[in-house]
Amino acid sequence: MFSQKNLFIIMTGYLTSWLVMMFLLWKGVVSSFSIYISCFFILSVISYTFYFYILKVTRINTFLYDIVCNVFAILTIISTKYISDFFNLQSIIIGNLIFVLAVCVFVWKAISLVNKRLKKQSQKYYEKGIQNFDEKKYNLALKYLNKAVKYYPKNYKLYYWRGVIYLELDIFEKAIKEFNKTLLLLENESSIYGFVYCRIGEAYDELGKSDKGLEYYLKAYKYFKENDNIDTDDCKVTLWEIARIYENEGQLEKSIKYLEERNRLHPNETKVLHSLGYDYDQLKMEDKALRYYLKAYDCANEEDKKEEFHLANLWNIAKIYDIKSEYNKAISYLEELLELDLENYGRYYKGLIFLGIMYFEVNDLEKAKETFMKGIGSDKVEERLDSYYWLIIVNIKQDNIEGAKEFYRKAIEIKSDFIEIYGWEEIDLNKEEVEQILTQKVK
């Protein structure tokens, strides 16, 4: 942009040149003809200075500036000749000073017109950039935004969106630089600060600098509250990220504080409800945890049920009901859990073993045995051993010692000290007694 600073430089040079020329004329050093030549020379210099500043900064169409500069030069020369022909020396000096002021006004208007044209051209490129961003054509969007900056570098939106694009392209250092440029141009746009700080926090977080990310997320939330932007998506993201960082740092009370705030502003979001349940669960506050887990379960839609957190939610509900010895309730949630696509999440066999244990607790030994038999199909040694352990327990409970021995044979093929790694509390026998039962006629 051609700024007031550029105008001041040109006009100062112009005024100084005229004062020098008038002084020489007053002293009789130059003739009337010299005035014309000097005018032309001075105006030529000014014209090219004008070109230098404008073209260097904006690269605008030179035709427009040809018109401005030529009109400037012609008017000056004509007026100078008119003044020198009809007025005395003193009048020439005064007249030229007046004319300098008139020219300043003329140039100011011309520059305003040019700046308006620059803004308009910049806006066109900005709109094309946003359009391509929406279409996920990030490199093309960046190209248009770069052009927009050349035409109007004082528009903070251009830097903000360049930063967003760099975030999408995982170029986080550049994103931070663009957002910092945005902050420098915001001035009194305090309502925008929250959005920019949120993005800076995201960039630092992606760089693994979670402490720095948290610092900016907290700043963002402060501005969201002060400017009544708490209902925006960016504020939702900010609250979630603050809670997540605190949770990862083990500061569960602080995590709960921001999750509760998000739930107050945007109630019944299943992921938030589940996270609240999880944090209370980690604090051993099972009743509160269960309340949020159940609410998350009730609010889950079909899309939510495809997410991993929904599977975790069902598991955690069953776990708390197990702690409360409400085994039938635990069974209902585990059965629902096993109907989902657990194999993609590595929880299928764990779910089977958990469900089998719940059947065992309600003394439904046949269902327990059936469930544990499925568990031995796991490709994980630990899960197969757990399944064999419970099959041995169930068979001993049913007085089917031969069946228990058969599963014991398979277990020791995997791990020779199988008996030693389990407690055997479920059948009220110590390890020596268990070994005696299982090793009869096995050796």
pTM to 2 decimals? 0.73
Residue 75: predicted pLDDT: 53
Question: Residues 81-96: pLDDT tens digits?
Answer: 555 554 454 555 555 5
pLDDT score, position 275: 97
pLDDT of 343: 60
What does the angle CA 243 – CA 247 – CA 253 come to, to the nearest 5 degrees? 80
In which residue ranges of the chain is pLDDT below 50? 1-2, 33, 36, 40, 48, 51, 54-63, 65, 86-87, 89, 442-443
pLDDT at 73: 53
Predicted pLDDT of residue 274: 97
pLDDT of residue 261: 95
Which structure tokens are listed for 356? 């089998």
Give the pLDDT score at 389.
Answer: 96
Specify the pLDDT at position 264. Answer: 93
Per-residue pLDDT, 58: 44
Q: Delineate the domains of the chain, giving CATH numbers in brackets.
A: 4-117 (no CATH), 373-443 (1.20.58)
Q: Read off the pLDDT of residues 307-357 as tens digits, 9 standing for 90 and up.
A: 889 999 999 999 999 999 999 999 999 999 998 866 655 678 999 999 999
